[in-house]
Each structure stands twice: as structure tokens, then as C-alpha cells.
Structure 1
Amino acid sequence: MKQQRAGLGFNLALASVAAATTWIVLLSWRAFTMEPEATVPLLYTAAIIALVGGTARWLHVPTALGLLLTAAVAGACVLGWVTGSAVPSPSVLADYATRVGEALDSTRKFRAPVPVEAASISPLLITAGAAVVVTVDTLAGGLRRIPLAGLLLLAVYCVPVSITGVGLTWPAFVALAIGFLAMLHLVHLDRVTRWGRGVDSGGSDRAGLTVRTGAVVGAAIKIGALATALALALPLALPTYEVTLFDGPGPGKREIQVADPLVDLRRDLARGEDIPLLQVTTPHRDPSYLRIAVLTRFNGNTWTPGDRDIPDDQVASGPMPPLVGVTSASPRQEWPYRVEVNEDFESRWLPTTAQVSSMTVEGDWRYDLSTMDFMTSDPEATTAGLDYSFTGVGVEPDAELLDEAASGISFIDSSFFEIPSGIAPEVGSLAAEVTQDQTTRFRKAQALQQWFREDGGFEYSTANIEEVSEGTLTEFLDERVGYCEQFAASMAIMARVIGIPARVAVGFLRPDSVGPDTYEFSSHDLHAWPELFFPGAGWVRFEPTPGARAASVPAYTSADLAPNPTATPSARNTPSTDARSRQLRDPETTAIADEASTFPWVRLLVAVGTLALLLVGVLAPTLVRRRRRERRLRGDLEELWRELRDHVTDLGHEWPADRSPRRTGAWVSTHFGAPAEGSSRSERPRTGPDQDRDAVRALDRFVEQLERARYSRSGGSVAIEQAAEDVLVIEAALDHGVGPRVRRRARWLPRSLRHVASRPARAGGSDREVSTRTGSTETETTEAVRG
């Protein structure tokens, strides 16, 4: 018998099927993280390994040497994706080790899926995924052991299913089964066609070949069907077990219904007797405003915590998630707290500071990611007699930064903007009237606080607490006599009416000092206050209750600010020449040298050609994106606007397509970063409009020109060259707002190529309506209330 040699096409086909099947299995690893950045790098890595492995086997490279070759190529790919450099220099290897170490720390601190705020686990997933691809390529292509490769793929698939309970979608699982069957068919068909009797010129053995290959195909289908059924059943049969990875807080499935704490607040304030409830030991000199619960839902009559879905693995133990909405640039200070709760105080919420970085408590206590208050799921458990400790974080926002903060609509859930349809129109009218002279959200919030405390003629009184009933919002605003809950609830809903995310917090106001670093809270200290959201500062406390109850307000809420901005185009400065010249330079290019080769070996020519095609495929996205960008920079204002949209998309941000240019521009400025000094480049730079004032001015000029071109009857004069220069300055500020890894990904894998271009806005019609709606925040929301 004579053995025929498999050709290049077969080797590449088998390697490609193995790589594709492996990549489909690795899609199940997306359950490990909320930001599955590893998917695309693993796809490219699998394609490169398939090309190298298939070509090596066609060239009869020994299997062991082929394994070393594909492992080396995979290692270079992993280094390139993780660090940006495929050359294993000492600095690159050190950077790689650091990133993998941070990823391992995230798997220990958080349960799957790891949140986006944590250090990315993509380096770990890319490394492990590349190792799986190399192993499957060797088993399937080099050793032709498809069952062993199938067992490995089954094990890889079982890991996320057994830990998270989340597997592949049905389409992906069908594709996985087809890939496994294809590998079986290819290998066994090759064995049959390469072995057999020599065929003379007078006849053929087609019948025998047909019988043998038909039997092989039937056997392959049976084996594949059995393996597919096993893959479906085995993960479900595996017990869920405790592992050291992904063992921190993370999403899960278990619903907890919580009651309304305002009922207890009214009862305790009306009781009259001052009952000691808890003692706090802390070096913090002013442990005021200890929060118990957060009320997020207003049903038209009262504020409630709502029905919350609290995962059973969001355990209130150890490090807590990062502060919601607070930038790393915000100054902060931490203090340890130890709390001893009296037997008289029975609560299903843990009193804590508004910001907490770590928690130590016994029992089944959990936290809500959206509100960061702490509650128990045990219906029998309360705080009575409980001792616990936590680390509180104090953040003192800067009033000027709050005044420049963008809208929070892109940063938090839309439920914090919700206004019930049945609310009285007078509430919206009153909110608009009180804040009509203010131009920013923060100044409007200051105006509301000042109106409740002093200017509106309100009086604090607990005389009629027991008579407070549902639907008394308008009565309170008319009579202007009430207690803390009514002040907090009214300011929160009026803040939502004028477009500021708001909620109500219930807790303790100020304690009495009873010893060194020891303070006591009593029932008379129970209090309520509103929290408003400003990007960069997070949820910010305000104090609308008059001074008879709350003697002082947070310093930032009473700070004197510059007069309301009335900037005009003539007052804006042009970007610096240096910044403009930096941006006018073309991005780095990567040249592809055409090598005229005279190698006599046809196989090597084919291999080099294949590698060149692959390289072109890798470079194609960045070349297409660059060509599109150069064309748009020579185009009109709408072309420049689309270029800005695509640049934002490439950097990983979601473009707010449903907003006016003015609101979109305000949102874009929140992603501005400052130019790095020297060689300093942070993976998480500070962002915000204050980081690059030149870019903010450039953005204002560009948006103003665009709005005139879209909405004015004459269209206005257009300085297109200035607009193009402004776009370059804006894009530079956006680049400075992300880390080097994100910039590399934007260059080589631009997301905008998948973006479906939308039609530019037209003056009049729906676009004119959008301009009217967004031109004044208070007008938009007030009309929504009235309608």
C-alpha cells in the first residue's frame, strides 16, 4: 500500500476548522467578564496559529518542532495584544507579568462576571485562550487525535458553565457541533483517501472508496452526535463548586424585596422619646450623615427603595466596588468605623457612610451596586445587637468642577430621571420658576436648596408628622411647613423635573460625642436628605431642610461661583499652535515592503504569499479607517461631524446618536484628557472638560458652526479649515483621555468600520424639534411633566 501526502489545502482547512471551533468554545469565557475584550484578539491569534500550524505540517515539520513554532507565534501574539509589543524584551515581559498579576487579583476579588471597573482580566483570558488554541491545533492537526481535542474543548466549555451557569447560545453551540463533526470527517476522509491499492490504468476503485468513505462519514456523524449530547448534558451534571478564582462580589440571581423605611422614620420622629440606637467609634471628627437606606423610586405619592434584584453573591465582605461616578482625580480621605448597634434598633439595613471601600460584618448582608446601601436577605435578621466595621470614604467635591459637570444621562440608569405621569403640573412650573436665572445643573441645584432653606419661606416642624399621608407633595409646597422627609423628597423630585438625576437617602444627622473618638446616634437624629448625581463627583449630598433642623449645608453647595457664563464666539480663544501642529501630523504608518524573491521552492513562495495576505488582512481595517478619515477632513461640516463620531466610537465610547449637537458636544467633553507630560502614560487618565480647555473651546466653535449650518435659515458662513483644525484638537483630547492600550486597539481594530452611518440632521422637522427640546433643560422636562 502507498501513502499519499496531504496537500496544503487540506492542512490549512483542518487547521482552520480546528481554530474556528476552538474560538467558538472560547466564546463561553465571555461569562467571566462584563467587558469581553479578549474575543477579537483570540480570533486573530487563532487565525495566525492555524496558518502557521497548517503550513508547517505541509512542509513536514516534525510535530514537536511544530508545537514549539506555534507556541512561539502564540506567545508573540499574546505579548502584542497585552502589552502592545510582540518582542519579548525584559521591560515587555515585566509589563506582561504585571498585567496578568492584576488580572489574577480581579479574579480573586470579584465573582464572574468581573465588572468593568476592576482591572481587566483580558490578559489572563488571552493567555489561556492562546494555549488552548495551540493545544487543539497540535492534537487535531499534528497528531490527528480529534477525540482528545474534543475532550479538551469539552473541558474548556464546562469551566464557565459550572462556575457561572452561563453557556453558549444555541447558534454558537450548533456551530461548535458542526466544527467538531467537520474535524472528524476531514481526518477520517484523509486516512481513507491516502491509503489503499494502487490503481492501474484499466480501472479504478471508486466503489470501494465510496463504501469506505460513506462508512467513515456515518461513523463520524454518530460519534459527533454522541459528543454533542455529552457536551449538553455534562456541564449540567457537574456540581457547582467553590474555587479561588472569581470568588468576590459579582452579579447573580436572587430577588430580595425591601420595605419602605420612611414609615419607620415618621414613627420614630413622632414618638417623642429620644432612644439611643448605636455607637460609632472613628477618628473622623465629623461622622455626620450616617446613611441607612437609599430611596430610588417615586410613585407620585412617596419615595420607596423599589423592588431590588440583589445577587446572593454580592456579599458585604472585604473590598467593595469602586465609588460610583467618582473620578480617580477627586480628593478623598478614608477613616475606619466600628459600629455597635443597640438591641433597641432593629433594621434590615446597615448604617454606613455614603461611600464605603471595605466592609466586615457577620451574617447574610449584601450590597446593591446601583445604590451601595447594605441590606440582609434573611427575613429573621436585623441589626439589633450587631457589631461590624467598615472603611468610610470622604469625598469633598469642588464646586467649580460640579458647575462644569456634564449631564449624568450617559453615566447612570435612566430610572434616576423618571418622573411619574400623575405628578401635578404645578411642581414642574415651580421648579422652572425657582431655577430660571441659573444656567447650569449645579447652580439650579444650589438654587433649589437655597429656596427650601431660606428664600421660599419654609418652616421646619414635626407637629403634624402623624397626619402626613400619601399625595401631600403639593400641599407641602403650598403650606410650606413640614419635616426633613418632605424637604428631601420635594427637592429630589424637583431636581428630576429640571433634568438632574436624584434620589432620597434616609439615615442619621449628627451624633453626640460620648467619649474619645466615640459618638452616639439616637432616634432624634434620624433624618432624610436628597442626593444628586454629577459625573466626576458621583452622588452628591444636598441639605434643603431649614436651619432649625440642619444647621449647616455642605460647603460646596454654598460656594460662591463666577457669574453665570455668557460666553460668545468672540470671547473664545483659538487652540494653541503647538496643539494644532501636533494634530495635523499624520498618524504613524506601517509600510509593507514588497519583496521580490527568487526562491526556487514553490512551497515557500506559497507560504510567504499566504502570510502576506494575512498581514494585509490585519492591516486592512486601519488602512480603510485612515483613508476614510483623510477624506472626511477635506469634506464639509457633516463629514467632519461623522469623523468625530467615528473617532469616539473607535476609542470604545458609545456615540449618543439621539441627542442634539449641543448635548452631544457636552457629552464628548467629559472624555477629554490632558496631554501626558514626558513619557508618562496612564492606562486610566483623568477625564473631563477641565483637562483640556483648548479642546473645549474648539468643540464649542465646531458645534456652533454645525448648528448654524443645520438650523439657521441662511446656513451662516462656514470656516471649514478652522472646523477641520478644531476636530483634530478635539480628537487629540479624546486620545489623551484613554490609555495606550485603548489607543492601539482604536488604531488596529477600529470599531467604527462596523458602524452604520446615519443620515445627517436636516433643519426643520424632527431635528428642529430636537433643538428646541434640548435648548433648555427646564423647558424640556417641564413640558414632559405637563404632558
Structure 2
Amino acid sequence: MSRGRAADSVIAGAASAVVAWPLTTLFAPDTWVRPMLLVVIAVVVIGILARLVTSSWVAIAAAQLVGVALAASWVYGRGHLWHGLPTPDMVLAFNNLLVDARETVQHYAAPAPTTRGVTLAIGLAIGVVATMVDHLAVMRRSPALAGLPLLTAFLISASNSGDALHPMFFVAAGGVWLLMLGRQGIASLRRWSTTVPMTTTGGRNTDDRDGAYGYAAVGRSLAVAGLVAAVLVPLAIPHFPTRYLIDGLGRSADATGFSNGQIGLKSTLDLTKSLNSPSKAPVLTYTTNAAILTTLRVGVLDTYTSGNWQPGPVDVDFGQRTTLDPPPDLAADVPRETYRVSVEDSRIEAPQIAAPTPLVGADLGGATWGLDRNTSVAVVTRSTRSYLFSYLALNPTQESLAQSRRGPSGSFLREDLQVDPQSQALVSQLVKDLVPQNASRIEAARAIQKYLRTDGGFTYSLKLPTTVKNRAGQEERPDPISLFLRSKVGYCVQFATAMVMMAREAGIPARMAIGFLPGSVDRGTYTVRASDAHAWPELFFDGIGWLRFEPTPSGTQSTIAPTYSLPPTTPGSDNPATATATGGATSSTTRPGQRNDPASADAANATGAGSSGGWFGPRTRTVVLWIVLGLLGGILGSLAVPLAARQRLRRRLRRAPDESTRVEIEWQAMTERIGDLGVIPPRGSTPRQAGRFYQREAYLEGEQTEALARVVSGVERSRYAPPGATIADIRADTHTVVKAVSAVRRRKDRLRAAWWPTDGLLEWRERRASAGRRLRRPVDRFQDWRAERRR
């Protein structure tokens, strides 16, 4: 079996399987593992058998790929085979399964369900990876190069996981790869020629005269140390935030938050994932003539199932219209004002577009767009960077809001009254305790919002608990909504979900909206960033439409409740609500003339997560720390060569036996420094000839000429004076001469001489040679010991 290289093939297959292990964090349950292992085993077995027959790597790789296809057919294509062989029907079935896998990845947050398509996609992908690793590590004998496909497969999991991977995933993958490297290294070492035969006892080498086991022991120690350092060092180093736009709510197709510079919000929302986005990447900028700012809605989710929000069916009539009728649910007698939002440099990816609501006009530069009839969400057929929307700011009266909580108009609201069955008992009890039986729709909504926002003892936190204690003190893992209502810890997704369910239980149609807060202002222009992403509940009121509420307390995002969602400040007030109907207000501040001040640069007057956290938040401190460390590293690195030159001169002067030697050392140091400036006298010049050359080339005069003369005289006296003669110190004069020559040279010459001196380079070379000799000593001793053993 030596030609088949069975051991190497098995290790290569194990490496391919191990790098797939982190995929268990992305897909649940792990029913894909066994079929994937069968495909990997097929690659390993076929590779071993094919190498016994031929040495052609093309034939072996082709046989393995055919084996992957056949194994996938037998595992995933049953019912579409003809005597065990694939058929055209199976190809069509595989295509449908792979399309299903793509849809699953795009529409579910991790962990996504393990569908048949996902199982097939993983099996085929790992089968191809296993074939590449087998070819590189076994056929090409390049296990180091085989690390590339292994790393690619590993990074697929690492870059798409919402949380940091457990260190064991990395240790396992790195360990198997190092095992491949070790086997190849030992095999290469064994092929080195030796005149001493090896002796074995019981199949084990007992006379390690060739040193293979000694080198292997050192290699294993270094490998283990490297793995430990790779796991422990990142724990001590500050981390930059990941580049996810919104983990679980929004991310583009490449799962990093950015795709060709564009940004998107996922159309599904996982209640167990974080909405935190530390990214300050701009999403869009806009100007507005509105007196009160509004949120920019991107989508609406109305179906909640097992911890996940999903949108309903889409019904859009696309066109290029510039005007729209008011929503059919809006009564003609509701007070309203019309405002405009002019967006520039939008990076939101089609079909999504950020817009206030309700819309009555648009200018999208000829782009085709429309409104979803079910949700009034704007949808575009292609991304547009600049557009203008006109929308209504509704001012419903207190009487129009005081509606009955039962009997919503329109059958399309049925799903907006469905309560999650897992948490319905707890939600129902809370609603009974909070909402009086005779409370109106707005009174019930205000009571629920107040409980979640201020009175219920809830805490805003991006770190969610996983368990909660019951009355007996035991840990429990309830459904996500019950976990939030009992632990009272969460962020906007949990707060909004809880209000939606409580409002539905109270008889008020409710749904979830996703989009962006208004952002931060600078001279009348607002900038919305990725960190401004937000989720909020919308409640339906007959004759008005969907109104935004804000149960989320201010945390990392500045969220202020709309005015109409708060109790009237003046008894009998006829018009307490001045916020927009569906967008709502994030600030109750109005300016004279009901207009924004274009010259205002006070970002404190504009709410939004982009301005929260101050200048020195955790992310800023991390960036500043890295900048400071980088500057310190750069400064220390730039000083390494000059300091080495200075240390070399001091050491030589300290070791000089007499004054004559010190003068000679100072003369050599001066000529080296002047040579670094580009002034080099002819080879073989005497000190006097070199002095005349320096004076001519550097245009020395006055004190500079006198200093050079003293240097030349001191050198000649040190060389030719009789023993016992007095020799003057020339160090101060050498500095004067070097400074004078530097003054007439170009700036780049001066910089090169200051930061890259020849003496410094010589010092580092000597240090490196000395370190190399120290490192070679153990090897030399080992070789001497082996030579003595051979004698």
C-alpha cells in the first residue's frame, strides 16, 4: 500500500472533515455530518485505489471527482438513479436542492435549518475541498499548500458565525494540518542520505543516529507552542469590531455587511441575535424641511414563528409614478402636513430603499419602483443613490386615537393579531395586569409602552441571557419572548417584539418594522450610519393607519418615544400628537418656523445612534489604542538602526586600549557618517588628502575649516607621534565637521544618513550573525555527538 499512501490519504481526509466541523454553528440540526463524511471517505478510498493503478494526478483527481458525484447521487439522489447511475432527472433535482440551499442561506440567520439542499451543498463543497487537499498533500507532497483550501473552508464558518468560534475548532483544524506537515517533514528528512544503517527492535527505532526523532520532537514542541499562542494571544490583544452590518437582522449577500459598497437589511429577523452594529459606515445622507425628524423604514415583518420574524407575501405594482394618493386607511379629516426628504449617496441595495411613511410623492430619477399594497413599504427594481420622497406628517387628535381595542377593520389584519403560542400565557397575564378592561386602544398602547420603557425594570443590553431562574432557583431555557419578559434584559428587537405580542393580545393589530433612526446632523445635512439600524413596533388605528411606538429605552441607540404615544401633558388637550404617524418622531424638538436650521451644526439636537456613545466609546478607545501602538512601534522601529550605530561607537570607544585607538575610531566614525551623506573621498586617501576633499566638496570655511584641521592633525599625531606624546580628543571637532557637511547636502541625503547609518546596519548584521552562531551551537553539538557515536 506504499504507492497508495494510505496514511497520508487518511490524514488529508480527516483534515477536510475537521474544517467542516464549525459548520455545526451555522446549520442545525447536524444531520448533514454523516452524508458529508461518506463523501470524504469516498474521496480517500478512491484516491488510495487509484494511486495503486496509476501515477497520473489528472486521472486520480478525475476519479475522485467522479466518486464525489456518484456518492452524492447515492446519498442524495435516490429515486433518480438508473442502475445506480445518475440520470438527467437527478441533475434537475440537484439543481432544485441547491437553489433551496441558497434560499435558506439568504433568508435565515444562523443557525439556519438543515434542509436537504443544505445537506447536499455541504457534501459537494467538502468533497471538492477533500479532493484538492488530497491532490496537494498526497500527490504533490505539499501539505503547506494544502492549507489554502482548508483555510478557505474554515473561514466560511468563521466569517458567517454571529459569535466567536470556540477555540477547539481552530485547535482541531490546525492540529490535523500540522500533523500533515510533520509527516511530510519526517519523510523528507528520512530521504537524506546516511552511511549508518538504522537498527530497529520490534519495529521501533531504538538508535536515532539519523536524528529524525530528535527533529520531530522539536517540531512537535514548536507546533504545540504555536497553537497555544494562536489561541491565547488574541485574548490579550484588543479586537476591532467585526464588519457585520447587523448580526441576524441585516447583512449583505457576502455576510460581511458590505457588497460592492452596498448595504442591506435582511428580510428575516432572528430574535436571539444581536442588532448591535459598531460600524460607522455611512448608509445615506439626506436633507429635509421637516420640523420633526422621522425614522426611515426599509421593511415590515408581520409573521413570527419560533423566534424568527418573516415578511408576508409581497404585492407591488411597479412603475415610475411621481405622485401617490394618500393611504386608503387614512381618513380625510386627520390633520396633516407635507414634508420632503432629499437623499444623496444611498448605499442600500435593491430592492430595498429607505423612506419615510406614508408617501405621497417621489422622484427616483427614472427608476422603477412601487409600494407594497400589504405594508406600504417602498420597493425598487434597481439601486438608486439619489432620490426624493414627499410624505405626510400626521397629527391625529386625542379623540381619533381613543378607539375600541376590538374589531379591526379589514380582513388583511388577521395575521397582525396572532400571538406566539409559546409565550401567550405569560403575555396574556401581563396584559391583564397592565391594561384595564375598558381601556381604549391608545390607552392600552401607552400602558404597554410605559411598562417596557420605564416602569417594568427592563434593562437595555446587547448581551442577552441564555437562561433564567424559576421560583425554585433552577435554571430554565424558555422561548425567546418569555426569556426576555422574565429576565428583563434585551435590546430593540426584544422590546419591539414584546410590545407587538402584548398589543396583539390586547386586541390591537401590530407588526414589526425595520429601518434606520434619523442619524446625526452637520450643517443641515443628516448622515445615517450602519449603527443607526433599528427595529420598532407599529400599531394599527382605524382611520389613521399604522403608528410607530417606541418601547426601547435609550441604550447604545438614542430612542425617544413619539409624542402621540405619551399621555397628554395638558388635561383636555385636543392635539397632543405632533409626530409623524408611521415614522414617528425621535425628537420632540421643533424649531421656529417649523423648519430645520440649515446652519446648525449641533448634533445634540438630532437624535440617532450615530451620535451616541460620545467621542471615547469602547470602539473609539480600541481604535485609538491601535493607533498609539502603531505609532509607538513605528517610532521604535525607526530608531533601531540609529541607536545601534550609537551603541556600536560607544562600545568600540569603551574597549579602546589607549587614546590613539580612540582617535582612530572617531576618525573612522566621522568618515562613515560623511559617507552616509554621499561625500566619499577617493579610496586610499591619507587623512590630509581626505581633509582637503571634504573642505572642497562641503565648502567648509572659518570655524568649520579649523575644526577639520584639528581632526586631521589629531589623526596624524595619533598615527605617527612617538610613544608617550600627548594626543588631543577630536570627538567634538568630528561632530562639527559632520554637521557642516550635512548642512550643504540634500534633505533626502540627510534623512538617509540619520535613519539608515552604515554603522547601524553593520551592528545589526553582526548581531544577526552572532545570534545565528548561538542557534547553531546545539545543532553543532548534536552533530559532534552523532559523529562520536558513529566512531
For this structure pair, what is the TM-score category when the shorter chain's length is used for normalisation?
0.3 to 0.5
Q: What's the TM-score once normalised by structure 1's chain length?
A: 0.36
State the TM-score, normalizing by the size of structure 2: 0.36
Structure with the larger RCO, 1 or 2 (CA within 8 Å, 6+ apart): 1
